[in-house]
Chains A and B, each alone.
Chain A
Amino acid sequence: MDNEESLSKYILDSQKLEISSFTKKIKVAFLSSFTINGLSESLQVKCSKKQISCNPYVAGYNQYNQEILDKKSGLYSFSPDITFLILDTRSIFGDLFYFPYSITKSERENFVNEKITEILNLINKFNETSNSKLVITNLALPYYSPHGIAETKTSYSFHDAIIDFNKKLKEHLLDNNSVYVFDFFKFIIKHGENNVFNFQNYLFGDIKISLDYIPYLANEFMPYIISFLGLTKKCIVVDLDNTLWGGIVGEDGFDGIRLGPQPPGNAFIEFQKYLKALSQRGILLAINSKNNFDDAIQVIREHPFMILTENDFSCIKINWNNKASNMLEISEELNIGLDSFVFFDDDPVNRELIKETMPEITTPDLPHDPSFYSEVIQSLHDFSTFQITSEDTKRGQMYLEQKQRTKSQNSLSNISEFLKTLNLEIEIKKTDSFTIPRISQLTLKTNQFNLTTKRYQEDEIQKFSEDANILINCVQIKDKFGDNGITGVLIVKKTNSDEWFLDTFLLSCRVMGREAEKAMLYFIINQAKKNNIKRLKAKFIPTLKNKPIEDFLFNSQFYEENGFWIYNLEKPFNMPNFLTLKEE
């Protein structure tokens, strides 16, 4: 685990930050039941390392109730993107923290239920007044109990009450897509109660997280920022020799590499298992290795202790080209930007090459000892998302199908001939509790075929779907190779009785180039015509990445007018006949 800098260093660094040039910005509010000085400074410094400008609001000491209940509070006028509400067991339990057995078991149960109701009421008030995402901490479990070793022989004990509080908090918020529980309980497990809590800190200044551990807490808050800004990494690119196995297959041979149940070969098995788990949750894997293809692929295909199989990799580059040009090819083939990659390589020279030539790629330093590879992967926050959608878990399979599509594309002479053979089916789907998280995720992550690049959080999508003046749908695309899942979004604002406005129109990069956008536009045009609308208005907002959609409006017979694009709905619109359009 990385050792953190001291809190005073973070505070000092935060005073020297020059963040005005960063384009990524976030407003973060901190509310707490105890002293958390230094937390906002630590988070600001950590954000700046990722080129994010973090504008903090820190509520007064133990003012969280007032800030949330008063609609005119500083919190609400600051209008944060994310609010952290940091609670602690002593504050919530009050005197019962010391005297839990001064009341009966059923009174303890009632107490927990009352506290949960109080917190939920507070959360409801917050949700009514603010659009901010709320991250609330659960409670730490102290090792101490007045019952000592008899604690585990006590029915609904002090510790049970804390665990019950945490369980109920989680259950009540499970389906709430703007409030998240930060597992403070696990934070203490990771760092240890004796390290994080210090009686002198606590008694001197109600500091319940000792100064050394404030930066560690800020570190654990970073995934929320990364996920909110849609900066989640999509793909891990790995080297092979001394990364997925020990030794060099070209020199040590198939039987000589270190990969197996005995040390040091087990370090690589352990590492591969972590990679496999990430791939199962939707992170793509790719190989970038300097090797003879036949030597290396033989290990992947035939070695009895390989955990990862050939099909776990969405893209494989095993050759003698330089690693930077391989990276570019991987990025092109998978159709994802360089800033979506993490690069794992044991060789510091290769890491340096990637860091120098492609600074947007995250290139963690690997320790010399492979036993610690797994720790590096555990400490990376770059893969976090607020929720795991079903598309995430199927992603590896979808890219594999994409590989087969590309192969068959290469064997056909022209693109429309190829598209005809795909049996493309585009289904326009309504919003519901399953699709809303995915729609938000697509608006946050899609960069290339995205007309306006407007980013929307789940609660905003929820509101759109309840608004009669907004047409919002997602698009599921299937073809003969398989189901691509929900990969398109359209949001149309019904401006008035004559005109609709195309607020969001996007397709995920993995389904680009199949003319599915024409089916989506066809659907919108038909809906507009049914409502006797005269004009469909649109705006193209250029970014560094959305060139693929630049000519879409022009090619679809929109004409330019005062910086907007207009489609006259009296004109007929035809969809290519190889597309099948379905509506849910």
Chain B
Amino acid sequence: MSEKLFKIISKVMNVDFKDVNNESNPSTISNWTSFNGYVLLYELETNFNVKFSIDEAMDVKNVADIKRHLKNHGIDVND
């Protein structure tokens, strides 16, 4: 599942799959602008069939945060 998440991130941010990890964040991925961050959440909502709240959206600072919020929606991407 981690792979699925990293693939989506690498596609939206247009970075190599191997460059994505739990610590990835707007300062390590140059394409991670606030808008692309939002596009990413949109893609995650579509792909994992979840809806993030505005609090969750604002709380995302890195990939680990995304995993944590996905887990709150019952999706464990570390499986």
Contacts and interface: CB of A to CB of B under 8 A. Distances in A.
Interface of A: 6-8, 11-12, 15, 35, 37-38, 200-201, 203-205, 207, 211-212
B57 A204 contact: yes
Contacts, number: 36
A12 B54 contact: no
Given A8-B12, A15-B14, A205 B35 contact: yes
Contacts of B58: 204
A15 B11 CA distance: 11
Contacts of B54: 200, 203-204
Cβ-closest 5 pairs across A and B: A37-B35, A8-B12, A211-B42, A8-B39, A8-B43
Given A204-B38, A207-B38, A6 B57 contact: no
- Chain B binding surface SS class: helix
B47 to A, nearest CB: 10
B1 to A, nearest CB: 20
Contacts of A12: 11-12, 14
Nearest to A61: B35
A536 B36 CA distance: 59
Interface in B40-73: 42-43, 46, 54, 57-58
Given A204-B57, A211-B42, A8 B35 contact: no
Interface residues on B, range: 10 to 19
A8 B11 contact: yes
- Chain A binding surface SS class: helix
A6 B38 contact: no
A395 B20 CA distance: 60
Nearest to B41: A204
Contacts of B36: 11
A12 B7 CA distance: 13
A6 B57 CA distance: 20
Contacts of B43: 6, 8
Contacts of A211: 38-39, 42
B27 interface: no
B78 interface: no
Contacts of A207: 38
